[in-house]
């Protein structure tokens, strides 16, 4: 992330001052900033945190960073700095000869460099102006808390001001701020919650350390009574001209700046990694829109969920709650387009690897019957003892349908109606109503123990688990062998039987076929539902689309239920707008 994080302090003598800043360097360090280690210094052990190599290799300092800075240096002049005998004052973080800190991100070859001031004069000016504004005019009510300000020329700033306890300071506290500067306003605003939480954690740690020191000093030598005895003595003369104490003294932490460097470097890396850009080629597909809608619904439901209220719900309706959770398990796991299973464990235990594999196991005629019912939207019931086998079968079969048409109850101890799911897994002992077994709108796959060791040729070693089963596919309306069937089913079977096509190529063919028929569904939806055309015109349209056959019409009507809400609302709004404009005319 192209940003700078800085710690600022309001000095009682010189006003706002930058104490410590961390910047990102994507290119090799500038001359004098990465030439190597300081001679005579031993390298300490290296540590890794969040993929960043925390190293004690310190960059040699430029004249702008040392105490002997000349007039051309972008840093503050020596005469402008506080002078304190024996320790670093409140206006400085590192000693004059301290070279600073460098961390190396081995994953991205990025360096995170920390010192009191940036090396580049323009960056120094930007940080300096942000520091002054954060501790003067750009302050939230109460003078402690987050605020956002900036412009295109000088960058945009997220600033969080806070107080640190100091028993020798005016009002027993000193004013600091942590600022994050970047040129991308949108990115910084979107990072507000993340930055607020992490920076608030850093501030709490600093305030906690300082509070312990303050309480110990007050216990040993209370300053309030001493000041009241010398109430008329000018405050600045009470300290005999000594400058304010440094932050390391206020927190009693000699490793404070190294810890801040680690925190700031991690903050820059983590904030840059949490938001990524994605290149979209063309308009999003219907599956993508449905996935986004499912994700938004799940987030809204999780935010509104209250654990206490959930416990108070009566236990007399377990089936409805269970069905709701199970039916939503499918969309939740299908939020990623190439994720076709419920979880990692199920993917490892997958029995059916692809549609081609399932066709080889079930046989051509049984698979065609099963696929026909899947595409038509009829209820597909699997009865088996092995839950992983049922879930693996549903993972494979659902790839033939748009995501919006998939409603799965993976495994249940009782029969569920077709309006609740079109994929239903049942335990072997569950009784299915007779009218369902005789219905033409359902297909049953019974998985039984095999009567012989092998029912079909074993092609792979991992197919041994299927040799102990036999699969019986039945339906009240079996598909005749000479039945033409929907066009997409014939194309799917042609791709599966073509051994020249790999499994990955078949998967891509399936994606293209689904998108082709979803486009036909969109045309039919607009023609019938939005424009309300007569049946005669609808038949002509179906002939033009190549979907005039009965099975194709049924398929289109079922797939119409899988259209996204986004597409439907957009279509309705675009249709209404010309009408309203004509009425005005």
Contact of 101 with 52, CB cutoff 8 Å: no
Please tell me the number of Cα atoms within 13 Å of 32 on its side-chain side: 8
The answer to whether residue 310 scores a pLDDT higher than 90 is: no
H or E element, residue 558 = helix 550-559
Quickly state the pLDDT bin for 450 (edges 50, 70, 90): confident
pLDDT at 89: 54
Are residues 424 and 526 located together in one domain of the fold?
no
Residue 279: Cβ-neighbour burial (10 angstroms; 0-12, 13-18, 19+): exposed
Are residues 404 and 524 located together in one domain of the fold?
no
H or E element, residue 123 = helix 121-134
Are residues 509 and 406 located together in one domain of the fold?
no
Tell me the per-residue pLDDT of 63-75, one tens digit each, with 9 for 90 and over. Answer: 333 333 333 445 5
Tell me the per-residue pLDDT of 265-285, one tens digit each, with 9 for 90 and over. Answer: 999 999 888 877 666 666 777
Question: Residue 3's closest CA among 18, 22, 17, 30?
Answer: 22
Tell me the per-residue pLDDT of 122-145, one tens digit each, with 9 for 90 and over. Answer: 999 999 999 999 988 887 887 889
As a whole number, mean pLDDT of residues 233-247 equals 56
Are residues 250 and 178 located together in one domain of the fold?
yes
Are residues 440 and 531 located together in one domain of the fold?
no
The answer to whether residue 246 scores a pLDDT higher than 90 is: no
pLDDT at 289: 83
pLDDT at 35: 39
Residue 159 contacts by C-beta under 8 Å, 6 or more apart in sequence? Answer: 130, 133, 134, 138, 146, 147, 148, 149, 177, 178, 179, 180
Residue 415 contacts by C-beta under 8 Å, 6 or more apart in sequence? Answer: 424, 426, 430, 431, 432, 433, 436
H or E element, residue 421 = none
Tell me the per-residue pLDDT of 388-415, one tens digit each, with 9 for 90 and over. Answer: 899 999 999 999 999 999 999 999 999 9
Using the 8-state DSSP alphabet, how is residue 526 labeled? I
Tokens 């503050």 correspond to 76
As a whole number, mean pLDDT of residues 97-109 equals 84
Tell me the per-residue pLDDT of 515-549, one tens digit each, with 9 for 90 and over. Answer: 999 999 989 888 887 777 888 888 899 999 888 89
Tokens 């740690």 correspond to 205
Are residues 445 and 511 located together in one domain of the fold?
no
Q: Is the pTM for the entire model greater than 0.85?
A: no
pLDDT at 223: 61
Q: Does 48 reside within a domain?
A: no
Q: Does 496 reside within a domain?
A: no
Q: Does 291 reside within a domain?
A: no
Domain limits at 378? 355-450+467-481
Residue 461 contacts by C-beta under 8 Å, 6 or more apart in sequence? Answer: none
Q: Classify 69 as helix, strand or coil.
A: coil
> How many angstroms separate the CA atoms of 141 and 121, rounded?
32
Question: Considering the chain, what percentage of its residues have pLDDT values greater than 90?
Answer: 37
Q: Does 142 reside within a domain?
A: yes
Tokens 């010189």 correspond to 14
Dihedrals phi, psi of 166, to nearest 5 degrees = -150, 115
CB count within 10 Å of CB 173 equals 18
Supply the CATH number for residue 365's domain. Answer: 3.40.50.12430
DSSP lists the bridge partners of residue 174 as 164
> How many angstroms separate the CA atoms of 539 and 541, rounded?
5
Number of domains in the chain: 3
Taken in order 51, 52, 54, 57, is the CA torsion positive or negative? positive
Quickly state the pLDDT bin for 167 (edges 50, 70, 90): confident
> How many angstroms separate the CA atoms of 20 and 424, rounded?
62
């Amino acid at each position: 992330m192209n940003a700078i994080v800085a710690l600022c302090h309001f000095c009682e003598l010189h006003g706002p001052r930058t104490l410590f800043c961390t910047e990102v360097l994507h290119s090799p360090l500038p001359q004098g900033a990465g030439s190597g280690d300081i001679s005579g210094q031993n390298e300490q052990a290296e540590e890794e945190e969040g993929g960043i190599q925390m190293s004690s290799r310190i960059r040699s300092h430029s004249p702008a960073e040392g105490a002997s800075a000349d007039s051309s240096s972008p840093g503050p002049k020596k005469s402008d700095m506080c002078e304190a005998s024996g320790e670093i004052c409140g206006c400085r973080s590192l000693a004059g000869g301290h070279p600073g800190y460098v961390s190396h991100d081995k994953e991205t070859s990025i360096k995170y460099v920390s010192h009191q001031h940036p090396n580049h004069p323009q960056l120094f000016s930007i940080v300096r102006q942000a520091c002054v504004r954060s501790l003067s005019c750009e302050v939230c009510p109460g003078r402690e808390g987050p605020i956002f300000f900036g412009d295109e020329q000088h960058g945009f700033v997220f600033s969080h001001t806070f107080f640190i306890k100091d028993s020798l300071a005016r009002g027993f506290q000193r004013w600091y701020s942590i600022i994050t500067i970047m040129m991308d306003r949108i990115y910084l605003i979107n990072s507000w919650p993340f930055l607020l939480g992490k920076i608030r954690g850093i501030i709490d740690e600093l305030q906690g350390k300082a509070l312990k020191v303050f309480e110990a000093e007050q216990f040993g030598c209370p300053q309030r009574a001493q000041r009241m005895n010398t109430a008329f003595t000018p405050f600045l003369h009470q300290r005999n001209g000594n400058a304010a104490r440094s932050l390391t003294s206020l927190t009693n932490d000699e490793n404070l700046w190294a810890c801040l460097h680690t925190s700031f470097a991690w903050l820059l890396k983590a904030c840059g990694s949490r938001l990524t850009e994605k290149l979209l080629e063309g308009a999003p597909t219907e599956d993508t829109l449905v996935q986004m809608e499912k994700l938004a619904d799940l987030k809204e439901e999780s935010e509104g969920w209250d654990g206490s209220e959930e416990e108070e719900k009566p236990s007399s309706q377990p089936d409805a709650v269970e069905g709701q959770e199970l039916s939503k398990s499918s969309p939740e796991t299908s939020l990623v387009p190439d994720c076709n299973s419920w979880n990692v464990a199920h993917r490892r235990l997958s029995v059916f690897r692809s549609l081609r594999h399932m066709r080889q196991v079930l046989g051509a005629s049984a698979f065609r019957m099963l696929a026909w019912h899947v595409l038509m939207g009829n209820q597909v019931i699997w009865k088996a003892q092995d839950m992983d086998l049922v879930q693996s079968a549903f993972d494979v079969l659902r790839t033939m349908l748009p995501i919006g048409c998939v409603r799965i109850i993976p495994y249940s101890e009782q029969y569920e109606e077709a309006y609740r799911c079109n994929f239903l897994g049942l335990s072997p002992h569950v009784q299915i109503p007779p009218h369902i077994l005789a219905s033409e709108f359902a297909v049953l796959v019974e998985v039984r123990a095999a009567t012989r060791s092998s029912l079909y040729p074993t092609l792979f070693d991992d197919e041994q688990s299927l040799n102990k089963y036999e699969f019986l596919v039945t339906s009240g309306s079996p598909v005749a062998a000479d039945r033409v069937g929907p066009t997409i089913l014939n194309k799917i079977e042609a791709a599966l039987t073509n051994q020249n096509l790999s499994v990955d190529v078949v998967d891509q063919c399936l994606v293209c076929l689904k998108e082709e028929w979803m486009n036909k569904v969109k045309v039919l939806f607009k023609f019938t539902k939005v424009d309300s055309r007569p049946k005669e015109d609808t038949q002509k349209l179906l002939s033009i689309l190549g979907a005039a056959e009965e099975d194709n019409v049924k398929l289109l009507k079922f797939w119409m239920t899988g259209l996204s809400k986004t597409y439907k609302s957009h279509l309705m709004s675009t249709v209404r707008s010309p009408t309203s404009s004509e009425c005005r005319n």
